[in-house]
Amino acid sequence: MKYSIARSFFFLSLFFFINISKNAIRGHPARPGESRKSARELIKSYKEREHGIIQGYYPSWVSYNHNMKDVNPEVNLLYLSFAKLDLSYDDINSIITTPSLFKSLIGLEYIGINEYFNDAMQLRKARPDIIMILSLGGENYQPSSLDAALNSTEKIANLVDELGFDGIDVDYEPNGSFDALNNINQADFFVKFVTKMKEYMCEDKLISMSHSSNGALSCIGFHDPTKICLDDNSPYNANYFQNPSVKPELLRGANMASAGSAIYIMNNLKDIVDIIFVQTFNYNNTNDPSIIHELYDSYAYYGRKYDYVIIMGFNMMFSDNPFKPNDKAYVKSIGDTIKKQNKLNKAADGLGLWSLSNNLAVFNENEVIQNFVEALH
């Protein structure tokens, strides 16, 4: 009897896997479908229309009581978080037959892969135009070693295709912080990781990177002559911070350990990357929220240089955050700055959120997204 049940389960799993494999060839339900433009074409159309993009992180752990299809229809770009930078699995069949492996090997916090496919399928039906990105890393997922992560890039590229994603977001925060990205070994790893991902992924897949709010400000708080966090060509170079009229809080940002932590990475990767998500919430103790304009402008310089989409990220989780997404006038002010850049440069820079469908959010998600819509469009 036990043998019979085991055989039945094996053949049922095999049958399911074969069907998944067939669908993968035709375009399984988690994929957007052949009739939809590629993600790269969609981004191009946003740029041509100077249409600011609205982005949101969707934490996979909210899947227990939320569905992706219910995300606000104004969201154009969804980052499903987080998968492991050093994920490893034998093949898709091993995850289908053992659902618990989906979380332990991949990192996404669904009950199993079938639940993910169902969630993604419903999203694709409801929003065939949405761009869905797999976000890697985050604050908590640290690779067991840098080599392990580099050796996982082909697996990640395969998974992106097998699970129907439009690309990846690399949110690498060594030891839970952006500070260490000013270490040449960590920065070089970041560059190598993204470069290998580009080599393995299909041409129409997108690559996003997440960086700190002050990551494009040249650092002035270090005395190492070999430091990698400077760019003399940037408008926010070391000379800029010699001006006594510089906002004190911007000057403080340039003195932080994370200052300039994106500069070396962007200047080495150049146009390999498509999108930069700027985490303003790593500077949540500032007393001058107006610096968001300079923080955006510091990244917009690289956006123009390398054709990036720059997304300024807001946090929904802290009521005392100085960069308040619920403040309509404040959001409009940064939206006006972004719209001006979009018009001048045929760009699609926009605004984003951490995080969507989160029961711990202290602001009303739909009201915040409406603020974004009114500010950008």
Q: Write the pLDDT tens digit of every residue in 141-193.
A: 999 999 999 999 999 999 999 999 999 999 999 999 999 999 999 999 999 99
State residue 22's pLDDT score. Answer: 41
Average of per-residue pLDDT across 203-219: 98
State what percent of residues in the chain have pLDDT above 90: 83
SS (H, E, C) 69-131: HHCCCCCCEEEEEEECCCCCCCCHHHHHHCCCHHHHHHCCCCCCHHHHHHHHHHHHHHCCCCE
Whether 25 shows a pLDDT value over 50: the answer reads no
Q: Write the pLDDT tens digit of every residue in 79-121.
A: 999 999 999 998 888 898 898 899 999 999 999 999 999 999 9
Global pTM exceeds 0.85: yes
Give Cβ neighbours of residue 184 (< 8 Å, ≥ 6 apart). 226, 228, 264
State residue 13's pLDDT score. Answer: 43
Average of per-residue pLDDT across 29-52: 92
pLDDT band at residue 5 under the 50/70/90 scheme = very low
Q: Write the pLDDT tens digit of every residue in 336-373.
A: 999 999 999 999 999 999 999 999 999 999 999 999 99
* Residue 36 DSSP code: S
Q: Tell me the three state secondary structure of residue 259.
A: coil
Question: CA-CA distance, 308 to 348, in Å (whole number)?
Answer: 9
User: Among this protein's residues, is 173 annotated catalytic?
Assistant: yes
Q: What fold is seen in the domain 38-376? A: TIM Barrel (3.20.20)
Question: CA-CA distance, 11 to 292, in Å (whole number)?
Answer: 57
The chain-wide mean pLDDT, for the chain, equals 92
Domain ranges of the chain: 38-376
In the block, residue with structure tokens 């969630």: 119
Task: Choose, from 50, 162, 173, 294, the residue flagged as catalytic.
Answer: 173
pLDDT band at residue 31 under the 50/70/90 scheme = confident
Assigned token pair, 53: 């993009």
State residue 20's pLDDT score. Answer: 45
